[in-house]
Amino acid sequence: MCGAALMLLMLSACQVQISADINVTENGSGQVTVVVIADGATLRAAPELVDSLQLDDLRDAGWTATVQNPTADGGAGITLVHDFNSPNEATVLLTELSGPRGPLRDFVLERTGRTNDSTFTFTGVGGLPDGTSGFADSEALVALSAAPFAATIEGLGVRLTDVLQVSVRLTLPGEPLDTNGTLAARENDDLVSTFEWQVPVDGSELTLSASTRDRDVSAMIAGWIARAVFAVMILAAALALIYIATVVSRRTRSTPSS
């Protein structure tokens, strides 16, 4: 009983942070970075976390996995990084990461429009409506030892809101159009917009949404000028042909017949 009480006290001081950072470039490619940090109190309460890491499968799937153990406070940190070449690839990566019941679900990234005038749209759902069981539904989260820690929390009755923080950070090209997240401070001439969400872990869910418009004004102006110059060239060529035809016609009429 004393051991359980001590464990409960240790867990009440624990902090586990899961952050997902999605960075998208103008052509729709980019990078997903996931960082899981467990503080020293967490490792003392659940020392099996580091030993149970299963990163080989994630590395085989193309993720770069880096482990920092220990951190400055005696905890551990795991960083996962994966590049993507298109919004569709990003959607697949994010789906694989959390699974259908994990804290980050149904993430969709889309790019529409033209090369120099694109609209980026992001939607998703965050939350743990099924509590700690949501961690066991994702191979990635299991590999990151989230499931053992979640089981310890569930067994001792510690509230997730006291020990777990989940956040999402999204950077999209262009100016912000709409979002229900927090827009990071930006200047008028900034080329990107960054949005942030704190994902609830109290059983509720949060819909995440953001959109931007990315316009390369200089390229658009250059395109308009090029089209205008092309139109002028066509008009000049047409006028030249008309002039030549007129001159030939006049000469033909003025030449006496033999």
Tell me the per-residue pLDDT of 73-132, one tens digit each, with 9 for 90 and over. 788 888 989 999 999 999 888 887 777 778 888 999 999 998 789 999 999 999 988 877
Closest listed residue to residue 54, CA positions, set 154, 143, 168: 143
CB atoms within 10 A of CB 102: 23
For 74, residues 6+ apart whose C-beta sits below 8 A from its C-beta are 39, 40, 43, 44
pTM here?
Answer: 0.76
Q: What's the angle, vertex CA 226, arms to CA 222 and CA 228, rounded to 5?
A: 115
Q: Which residues of the chain have pLDDT under 50?
A: 1-12, 217, 219-222, 224
Phi-psi region of 23 (alpha: psi -120 to 50; beta: other; left: phi over 0): beta
Closest listed residue to residue 132, CA positions, set 147, 142, 121, 120: 147
